[in-house]
Amino acid sequence: MTAAQRDDYLTDLIISWNERKSGKLMELLISKHARLKKAACTLQRELDEMLREHKVDVNDLPSMVEELRALADALCASDRLSDDNIRNGIVLCGNSIREKSARLLQVDSSKLRSRLRRSRAAEKARLVTLLRSYERLTGEKIDMDDVLDDCLPWQNRGVVDLAIKRNICDKLMRMRRATEEQDILMGEMTTLQHSIRDRRTSIEEKAAWLEGVLSLPLDQRPTLDSGAEGRYVLCHNDDGVVRGLLAMCRRQVRLLTADLLYGDDALAAYFSQPGNDG
């Protein structure tokens, strides 16, 4: 295979890949929207079950979120913490260490595992500091293993403890994020269809201009446009060159029209299903 043949072969592969990617893009967006919608429904159901189990009113969720944010700010802003803040910090560090240990068993990337190990080590150092502070304030010593086993002396006092609040708020934030991503994907679908329409209109205008150029005598034809950023220049404007460009434009218009129709049909079919209101 010569260098020119190799270039032609690679060009054909790139064009084919771009055409298939363009045709699959709407399908991928719809598929992701469906997954997010299903995930949001599952998270909503789990959140409702947690609220019923722990007898938490849904109107109390905003105050829970603000409480956790204030606690996080207090833990980061000062080393002189109250007794309550130290207990809450111990719970948060214990939960974080357990989550990172569980994730270490699930990830395949060695780089991500190294990052998780470093983060877990930093959390353990923070937990040691909090346990020492708690011992100085209360005179009660707590072992790190007890924290990691979620066996803390102040638990089970008849109130919703911090770990439960954190799990509820985490579920709430994940559900909100899934809903926000659905709105983002809706915007992406609309933008994609508008982009295809604009590209088709632009190429149709170019094709009409080439038809006008083709009808002129050779000595009266304008100079054809060069490529983007001057990467190539059309040196001739005879019938063969103009007809070739016109054929390329018409082919691209047909492809864009097919993509546009496919996208409209796919969206109509998806949002016609029960529960998929756009």
Per the structure block, which two tokens stand in for 183?
A: 């709105």
Report whether pLDDT(156) > 60: no
How confident is the model at residue 159, as a pLDDT? 45
Identify the band that residue 232 occupies on the pLDDT scale cut at 50, 70 and 90. low
Per-residue pLDDT, averaged over 20-37, amounts to 85
> pLDDT for 164-193, tens place per residue?
888 888 889 999 999 999 999 999 999 999
Report whether pLDDT(262) > 80: yes
Report whether pLDDT(47) > 60: yes
Per-residue pLDDT, averaged over 47-70, amounts to 86
How confident is the model at residue 8, as a pLDDT? 80
Phi-psi region of 81 (alpha: psi -120 to 50; beta: other; left: phi over 0): beta
How confident is the model at residue 184, as a pLDDT? 95
Report whether pLDDT(231) > 90: no
**Total Cβ atoms within 10 A of residue 151:** 12
**Nearest of 136, 153, 155, 167 to residue 56 by alpha carbon:** 167
How confident is the model at residue 190, as a pLDDT? 92
Cβ within 8 Å of residue 185, ≥6 positions away = 29, 32, 33, 36
Q: Which of 76-80, 238-242, 243-247 has the highest mean pLDDT?
A: 243-247
SS3 at position 153: coil
What Å distances lie between residue 130 and 72, 98, 146, CA to CA?
A: 14, 17, 14
- The share of the chain scoring above pLDDT 90, in percent, equals 24
How confident is the model at residue 138, as a pLDDT? 74
> pLDDT for 114-127, tens place per residue?
998 999 899 889 88
Tracing tokens 């094709």 back to the chain, one arrives at 207
What Å distances lie between residue 277 and 34, 111, 186, 237, CA to CA?
A: 12, 41, 11, 52
How confident is the model at residue 33, as a pLDDT? 93
Q: What is the mean pLDDT of the chain?
A: 82
CB 167 within 8 A of CB 50: yes
150 DSSP 8-state letter:
T
Q: How far apart are CA 71 and CA 63, in angstroms?
A: 12
How confident is the model at residue 227, as a pLDDT? 55
